[in-house]
Structure 1
Amino acid sequence: MSLSPLSCALAAPDEAPAPLHLTAPDLDLIGVPAGTFQMGSDDKDPQRFPSELKVTTVSLSQPFWLGKTEVTRGQWEAVMGPITEPTFIGSPKDLATLASDLPMADVTWGQAIAFCDKLTARERIAGRLKPGYVFSLPSEAQWEYACRAGTTGLMPASTADRDATIWYMKTAGPWTYSMGAKLNPVAEKKANAWGFHDMLGNVREWVLDPAAPYPGGSVTDPLPLKGVFPGKPQKEEIELRIMRGGCWIDGERGTRAAARDWADPTKYAAAPEKKPDGKPGSDFRGGTVGFRLALISEKMRAAVDPFVRTLATPPVAVAPAKP
């Protein structure tokens, strides 16, 4: 596995850093420049949800890297080992029939973090990781910045743009529950202006952030540390985690750059536990949620560590950075 481009000096804030290629897994990350953008929705978007309001001017002070595509089944196996059980309702018993370039679905937030931490540990021990950076999920702000790719206003801007770039209810259908998940191989749809595929649609993508309202005004490198369910009093803190981008089963409203979803990070996409009477519990493995690998500031990633340590699935121990 090689990350040699990262050994060069970081680009100036107004320049995109060089792209990176990981040989195992075979995965490309695109360099994203530091910059400022408008996050959320205003009253000009007729499809807005309340959780998108309070448009916030966000400044990202450091460049970062983000996966060109969602993490695929093949890339997951290259890091975490063979997938031995069906991962979503309707997936075939013969897992070899599933293409390796399908997005990895479903994984819990903690499992996605474990993938990132295992990759960080391996590359740090090998001396191939730039000091001060770790593999991670992106922050919600980093995700939306990369999704918008320098655009403003409604996104997608037209039906033609939507159909060309997104696997959603219209382009992935028709669908019935008996068909199972309608996943599609990554990178079959047109990339956005910065080269990212499937930022919207195909599968929803976990990000670092808990579910919390936007602050409004201007902020730098935002990453809320306490989850507050949108629309609930501040005292009712719960640890939901944000998913972005919508998925193949969503319509136009759920597959906009500003749309937000949230779910229990330990239970959503996990195999159901048995009820006290021995019957299986609810199964939320619908083939609708995955994630995208990022390379971000170690300081930002460390901010969520107290929450990571409370997960039922513990993260992989990461080797300390060398002085």
Structure 2
Amino acid sequence: LTAKVTAHLPEEPPDYMVVSLGDDTAPAIAYYVSTNAFPEGGLSNDIYRTSRLVMRRIHAAGIRWRMGAESDDYSGATTTVSLSERENAHYVTLSEDYFIGIYEITQAQGAKFSGKGSAFTEYVDSPLRPSSDISYEKIRGVGTGNGHAVKSGSALQKLRVLTGIDFDLPTSAQWEYACRAGTTSLLYTGKALVNANVYEVGWIYGNSKIDGVWTTQVVGQKKPNEWGLYDMLGNSREWCLDWYYGTPSSDDVVDPVGPATGSGRVLRGGDYSRSIKDFRPSASYFISDSEDKRGDQLGFRVVCPITLKYNEK
């Protein structure tokens, strides 16, 4: 019996990190070059959606990319799409790579550190569905400023204590860059915005009904993007770190985090109750006075720095 051990520098980890959520049968943190190298059957094993977090390294440092959308992005769509002010096309550079969850946080994972959420808990497969009906306030607390500090007792503070890793919500720019996975097209598959193409990659209003009820679905069933991220569009709308910031400037920007204050936090990705016009990497939303607002459609996924700790808290 032999084992292959590959060393890496802390600032240059492999593309996948698996974090135990108190699972004593697994190392606290393990790194892999691909999901094919995962033990215990790989992603087909539900442990990766219940008692472990799978994080994907996003190679972003120094890459200039277009955030937002141009009107000509929507040729071929079968629905009328009106670009919102929030989608003003502009160029962004992120200064660092980061890890992002390949799945939305599930009810089973959330129960390990924050509670499973209170929506759609009645199904046999509920533990594998997104942890939804959860507010920004419960996830990270309020009044923490614009850095990465989180309130004591918040879900992310409990997750940090459990794992020793500075998990947080993605910024809107981190979210969109990860969702696009290097593409500039309307869908990250490069296909037109029509129902059949949308149904390949996500759960929306037209394909998410069970026994007459529109509902979230088990994560990871649809086609992932090119970087192996699931449900970036559809299933649950995902909280981001930023305050809503109206019309972005057309100037280039580095590491945008939004304004210092605002009336609502950014939400991304659409959800099971939305139509295909909201099913776009550039589409963003906000709910006024939203930090304590909950909804069946609202969930989250997490990010962390590749060094596992932020320089500022």
Q: Which category describes the TM-score, using the shorter chain as reference length? A: 0.7 to 0.9
SS at match of 2:126: coil
- Which stretches of structure 1, 4 residues or more, deviate above 3 A after TM superposition? 4-8, 95-98, 173-176, 296-302
**Cα separation, partners in 2 of 1:6 and 1:146, compared to 1, 3 Å:** farther
SS at match of 2:159: helix
Cα RMSD between the aligned structures? 2.7
Whether contact under 8 Å (1:42, 1:48) holds in the other structure is no
Corresponding position: 1:37 with 2:65: yes
Whether contact under 8 Å (1:51, 1:260) holds in the other structure is no
Q: Distance in 2 between matches of 1:175 and 1:109?
A: 30
After superposition, give the CA deviation of every residue in 1:228-271 in whole Å (9 maximum; x if it has no partner). Answer: xxxxxxxxxx43000000001111111111111112333320xx
Corresponding position: 1:138 with 2:167: no
The Cα of 1:112 is off from its aligned counterpart by 1.8
**Cα separation, partners in 2 of 1:31 and 1:5, compared to 1, 3 Å:** farther
TM, length-normalised to structure 2: 0.72
Q: Distance in 2 between matches of 1:68 and 1:252?
A: 22
SS at match of 1:145: helix
Corresponding position: 1:193 with 2:190: no
- Code of the residue aligned with 2:215 in structure 1: it is K
**Cα separation, partners in 2 of 1:6 and 1:249, compared to 1, 3 Å:** farther
**Cα separation, partners in 2 of 1:96 and 1:187, compared to 1, 3 Å:** closer
The one of 272, 296, 311 aligned to 1:248: 272
Corresponding position: 1:211 with 2:244: yes
**Matching residue of 1:72:** 106
Whether contact under 8 Å (1:5, 1:19) holds in the other structure is no
**Matching residue of 1:164:** 200
Whether contact under 8 Å (2:93, 2:255) holds in the other structure is yes
Whether contact under 8 Å (1:39, 1:58) holds in the other structure is yes
| Unmatched segments (≥5 aa) in structure 1 | 228-237, 270-284, 303-323
**Cα separation, partners in 2 of 1:5 and 1:80, compared to 1, 3 Å:** farther
**Cα separation, partners in 2 of 1:61 and 1:22, compared to 1, 3 Å:** same
**Cα separation, partners in 2 of 1:5 and 1:291, compared to 1, 3 Å:** farther
- Code of the residue aligned with 1:115 in structure 2: it is A
The Cα of 1:96 is off from its aligned counterpart by 7.1
The Cα of 1:116 is off from its aligned counterpart by 1.9
SS at match of 1:261: strand
Q: Distance in 2 between matches of 1:292 and 1:143?
A: 10
Whether contact under 8 Å (1:55, 1:217) holds in the other structure is no
TM, length-normalised to structure 1: 0.70
**Matching residue of 1:150:** 182
Q: Distance in 2 between matches of 1:240 and 1:10?
A: 34
Q: Distance in 2 between matches of 1:290 and 1:38?
A: 26
Q: Distance in 2 between matches of 1:167 and 1:301?
A: 37
Over the matched positions of the two proteins, sequence identity in percent amounts to 26
Corresponding position: 1:52 with 2:86: yes
SS at match of 1:144: helix
Alignment length (residue pairs): 251
